[in-house]
Amino acid sequence: MSETEIDFASLLCSRLCHDLLSPVGAMNNGLELLADEHDPEMRRRCMDLLAESAKAAADKLKFFRLAFGAAGGFGADVDPKEAKLVIAPMVTSSGRTLLDWAVPAQMMPKRALKILLNLVLLANDALVRGGTLSVDAEARSGEQEIVIRASGPKIIMDSAIRDALTGQLDPAAVDSRTAAAWMAYMLAVQGGGMLQLAEPDAEHLVIGALIRI
């Protein structure tokens, strides 16, 4: 593995750690409260907090394992139901975002599935006040098309993330914020594929990927 690959892996790890900090921190706080609390009702609330935070941490780990890691087995194709199982909790956990899943049941190339997961991550982050996240995919002869749509009362996507998605970001400028976008772009352009980003407005965002398979 080259030094560049190691550096990029460290950026993905930084993103993972950033997202895990909140639920793990909440678990730590819950344990501290539980140690000093004797009221039964308050202890019950502490246990509820611990359970919610543990589930959130587990959900994030499962998502990142499939999006960044080697989950899904050693085969070339992955069942998209695996992706839905990790996407649904992440997208809907806040209670403010709905998931519209329109991905066919047939197996998908692992590279395409990783692109899908990373695009979902970015679109979900952009839905700062919740809304609807739609995931569509279609397989054609030698090609896999993916379209991610986000709609809500407020869409925010950093310009550096947009540049990473479209390959306009200097590779030396990739950081933990843009690593997922850069990974999706690099996976897409392998073999002549591409990513397209419709210019987002205040309430809509559309990201498309065409992967040569």
> Smallest Cα–Cα separation from 131: which of 94, 157, 158?
94
Other C-beta atoms lying within 10 Å of the C-beta of residue 37: 15
Q: Find the mean pLDDT for residues 94-100.
A: 95
Q: Find the mean pLDDT for residues 164-193.
A: 93
Q: Find the mean pLDDT for residues 38-65.
A: 90
Domains in the chain with CATH codes: 3-212 (3.30.565.10)
- Asked if 87 and 119 count as a contact pair (C-beta separation under 8 A), the reply is no
Q: What is the pLDDT of residues 111-142, one digit of tens each?
A: 999 999 999 999 999 999 999 999 999 998 88
Question: How does residue 74 score in pLDDT terms, banded at 50, 70 and 90?
Answer: low
The DSSP code sequence of 78-144 is E-HHHHHHHHHHHHHTTSSEEEEEE--SS-EEHHHHHHHHHHHHHHHHHBTT-EEEEEEEEEETTEE
**pTM score:** 0.90
pLDDT of 42 reads 86
User: At 169, which amino acid appears?
Assistant: L
pLDDT of 1 reads 46
Q: Find the mean pLDDT for residues 33-56.
A: 88
> Smallest Cα–Cα separation from 116: which of 143, 84, 76?
84
212 CB-near residues (< 8 Å, 6+ apart): 142, 143, 190, 191, 192, 193
